[in-house]
Amino acid sequence: MNETGHDFERKIIALRRELDDVRARSLDHDPAFKDDLKQQAQKLEKAIRDIHSKLNRWQRVLLARHPQRPYTMDYIRFMITDFVELHGDRLFADDKAIVGGLGKLAHRTVVIVGHQKGRSTKENLYRNFGMANPEGYRKALRLMRLAAKYKRPVVCLIDTPGAYPGIGAEERGQAEAIARNLFEMSRLPVPIIVVVIGEGASGGALGIGVGDRLLMMENTWYSVISPEGCASILWRSAEKKEQAAEALKLTPQDLMVQGLIDEIIPEPLGGAHFDHEEAASILKRTLERVLGELGGMPPQELLDKRIEKFSRMGLFQEPNAEKEETNVG
Amino acid sequence: MEWFKKVKTGLKAQEKRPIPDGVWVKCDTCGEIIYKKELIQNLWVCAKCGFHFRIKSGDYVRILLDDGTFDELHSNITAVDSLKFRDSKKYTDRVKDAMKKTGLSEAARTGIGKVDGKSIVLGILAFDFLGGSMGSVVGEKIARATEQALRDKIPLIVVSSSGGARMQEGALSLMQMAKTSARLAQLSEASVPYISVLTHPTTGGVAASFAMLGDIIIAEPGALIGFAGPRVIEQTIGQELPEGFQRSEFLLEHGFIDVIVNRRELKPIISTLLDHLT
C-alpha cells in the first residue's frame, strides 16, 4: 500500500512491519521476554527516525507528495463531526480542487477549507490535482466571510502544487482572486489557523494561507515555487529539481529558522501516510489547543497581532545611521 | 482571385540593419525607425503604432511627479542572502550585478512627491533590477510606503513591473505578498486612495498581491498582466495561446482593470482621479 519506489521508503516500510511484529509478539509473551521485545521495538523506532532525519530536501518533497498521505477530506473525516460540505463561489462554479464546509472540532463549530487532491487518476482529474482555479479561492473566501458573520473560527489546510495555470483561470482573474484573499484574510475578525498538510507551492498555497497561526505537518514543504518550477527557470532544466529543493530551503525546519511558521506538528512514525487516523488525531489535538489560545482574544487584538505577524516577515539589511548595526527585520 | 487575399506585410522579411547607437531607435512592434530625441519627447511611445517601450523607474518619477518633488525613502534597505542561495550564480552576486547595472539599491523605489501639487506616496518597481522581483526588500518598502500613506493620510500610487516573487529568497518572498496585502487592507479601511498602475509585464506574486488590489487599477496599453506566465500555461495545456492573451486589453475586456491609459495621459488622469477621491 505504501510503495512509492523510493529506497528510503522501502526501508521504512520493512522496519515498520518488523516493529508491528515485535509489538504483536510482545502482547502474547510472558514478562521475561517483554523487555527484550521492548528493546527491539525501540531499536526499530530509532532506525526509522534515523532514516527520516537523514533525508535530503528533495526526498522530503517526495514524502509530502506521497500518494497515500491523508488529504483534506481524510482529515475532515477523522477530526470533524457533523460536517456539511458547502459548494460553489456563487459567482461562476464549484471548484473541486478546494473543498470546504461547516463542522465541529470537538465542541466548536468551525469553517474548514482546504485543497483537495485525488488518489487515482480519475479522482485527480476530478480534483484537478489540487490546483485551484479562481472560483476555488472565491469559494474559500465566501466560506470565510460566513465564518466571520457567525463568529466561527477558520481552519485552512494547504496541499497544492500551485494555482492552476490555464486559460480560463487567467480569464477569470487568478491573480485577483489570490490577491483578494490575502487582503480579506488579513482583516477577517475571527481566528484563522493555517496548516500545511502536504505541498505548499506559491501563491496557490498562500491564497488560503493568511492567519493567526501558521503550522506545518512534519513531512511537508512550503515555498515560493515548486522545486521543478524553480529548476526549470534558474537552472533551465526541471531535472535539477533536487538542487532546487536544497536551495529553496523549504522544509518545516527551514521555515522555522526563517521565522515564518509557529509550530511543526509531528506525524506518526514514518509519516502520516502510515496512519491517517493517528495523524488526524495529532492535528486535532493541536488545533484544539491553538483555538483555545486564540479564542479568548478580542477581534481587534487578533487583527493587530495578525498584521504585526506578517509585517515582521522578511530579512534585509538596513544600516542605521545612529546605531551602526544591521537591522534584520 | 489572388488580389483579394490580404497581403501580409512582411515585418520579418526585412533584413536586420544595424542601427547606430543613441540616435535612432527601432520600434519593437511596427519596425518604425524613430529619432531618439523625438521618442523621449513622446515618453517612449511610438508615434506610429502606440507601442509603449519599457522605461526606467526614474522616467516614471519624471512623468508622474512635479519637477523636483520626489523625496526618495528607505533606499538604504538592501537584500540579505538568508538562504545562501546559489544556482549558476550566487544570489549575492546577482544582487551586486543588478546594483551595478542599474545604480539602484533594489527592485523597488519608494518616496513621497507631488502630482499637480497634491502630495502622494509613490512606489515604483524597477524591472531592470532582477526582473522587478519581490523579495524581502521590495515587500518591506511597499509595506512601509503603505504605512506612510496611512499615517499621513495621503494617496498611494504604485507603478508595477515584475516577473513575480523572487525565487532566491524562497518562502520569505512568498510571505511578502501577504505582508503588502495586509497593509493595503488597513489603508483601504481608512479610505485612503490607492491607485495601482500596471506596466509591462506584471505577473506572478506581484500581480497576485498589491498590483491587483488598487481602488483604481490603471494599465498601460499592451502590458502583459497575469498570474501564470504564458510559457507555463502553454506547457500545461499543450496548445498555443490566443493572440492578445493576458494583455491589458484582454484584462479590460474581462473586467479586471478599470482603464487603459496611454503613458502621455497617465499624469493628468491620475491627477483627476486624486481630485475625485480626496
Shortest Cα distance, chain B CAs vs residue A23, angstroms: 41
Over range B234-261, report the average pLDDT. 95
| B86 lies in the same domain as B152 | yes
The pLDDT score that the predictor gives to residue A40 is 85
In a domain, A318, yes or no: no
| A305 lies in the same domain as A251 | yes
Looking at every residue in chain B, the average pLDDT score rounds to 93
The pLDDT score that the predictor gives to residue B16 is 56
CB atoms within 10 A of CB A263: 15
Classify residue A209 by its DSSP letter. Answer: -
* CB nearest A318 (choices: B77, B170, B172): B77
| B18 lies in the same domain as B104 | no
| B38 lies in the same domain as B102 | no
Domain that holds residue B7: 1-53
- Judged against a pLDDT cut of 70, whether residue B15 lies above it is answered with no
User: Tens digits of per-residue pLDDT, B124-142?
Assistant: 999 999 999 999 999 999 9
| B99 lies in the same domain as B110 | yes
Domain boundary residue, one of B34, B53, B72: B53
Domain that holds residue A42: 7-54
Q: Could you give the CA distance from residue A73 to residue A321 in angstroms, rounded to a whole number?
A: 54
In a domain, A321, yes or no: no
In a domain, A30, yes or no: yes
| A219 lies in the same domain as A238 | yes
* CB nearest A179 (choices: B76, B209, B254): B209
| Cβ within 8 Å, pair B205-A203 | yes
Return the ∠ at Cα B139 (arms to B136 and B140), rounded to 5°: 80
User: Among candidates A288, A252, A283, A250, which has minimal Cα distance to A70?
Assistant: A283
User: Among candidates B82, B62, B238, which has minimal Cα distance to A165?
Assistant: B238
**Complex confidence, ipTM:** 0.94
* CB nearest A224 (choices: B170, B210, B256): B170
Residue A185 CB contacts under 8 Å (≥ 6 apart), including other chains: A141, A144, A192, A208, A210, A211
SS3 content of chain B, % helix, strand, coil (to 5): 40, 20, 40
| A14 lies in the same domain as A79 | no
Over range B221-237, report the average pLDDT. 93
Look at B83 and A42; give whichever has higher pLDDT: B83
The pLDDT score that the predictor gives to residue A7 is 84
B227 vs A contacts (CB less than 8 Å): 163, 165, 169-170, 174-175, 178, 203
The pLDDT score that the predictor gives to residue B88 is 87
| Cβ within 8 Å, pair B77-A224 | no
The pLDDT score that the predictor gives to residue A20 is 87
The pLDDT score that the predictor gives to residue A323 is 42
| A27 lies in the same domain as A75 | no
User: Tens digits of per-residue pLDDT, B168-209?
Assistant: 999 999 999 999 999 999 999 999 999 999 999 999 999 999
B interface test, pick of A170, A260, A306 with most B CB neighbours within 10 Å: A170
Q: pLDDT tens digits, chain A, 329 residues: what are they? A: 444 568 888 889 999 888 888 888 877 777 777 788 888 888 888 999 999 999 999 999 999 999 999 999 999 999 999 999 999 999 999 999 999 999 999 999 999 999 999 999 999 999 999 999 999 999 999 999 999 999 999 999 999 999 999 999 999 999 999 999 999 999 999 999 999 999 999 999 999 999 999 999 999 999 999 999 999 999 988 899 999 999 999 999 999 999 999 999 999 999 999 999 999 999 999 999 999 999 989 999 999 999 999 999 999 999 975 443 444 44
Judge whether A245 and A294 are in contact, CB under 8 Å.
Answer: no
Q: Tell me if the bond preceding B201 is cis, omega within 30° of 0.
A: yes
The pLDDT score that the predictor gives to residue A73 is 98
Write down the residue that cell numbers 523625496 correspond to: B71
A176 vs B contacts (CB less than 8 Å): 208, 212, 256
| A149 lies in the same domain as A252 | yes
- Coil, helix or strand for A281? helix
B255 vs A contacts (CB less than 8 Å): 173
| B128 lies in the same domain as B160 | yes
| B167 lies in the same domain as B114 | yes
Total structural domains in chain B? 2
| Pick from B121-130, B157-166, B229-238: least confident | B229-238
B171 vs A contacts (CB less than 8 Å): 222-224, 248-250, 254-255, 258, 260
A196 phi/psi in degrees, rounded to 5: -85, 115
In a domain, A316, yes or no: no
Domain boundary residue, one of B16, B35, B53: B53
Total structural domains in chain A? 2
The pLDDT score that the predictor gives to residue A322 is 47
Band of residue B210 on the pLDDT scale cut at 50, 70, 90: very high
Q: Within chain A, where are the H helices?
A: 7-27, 31-53, 57-64, 72-79, 121-127, 134-149, 167-171, 174-185, 202-206, 227-230, 241-248, 252-257, 276-295, 299-311
| A301 lies in the same domain as A182 | yes
Q: Could you give the CA distance from residue B136 to residue A2 in angstroms, rounded to a whole number?
A: 40
* CB nearest B80 (choices: A176, A243, A317): A317
| A258 lies in the same domain as A277 | yes
How many separate helices (H) and strands (E) can be counted in chain A?
14, 9
B175 vs A contacts (CB less than 8 Å): 206, 260, 310, 313-314
| B100 lies in the same domain as B31 | no
Classify residue B82 by its DSSP letter. Answer: T
In a domain, A320, yes or no: no
Over range B56-84, report the average pLDDT. 97
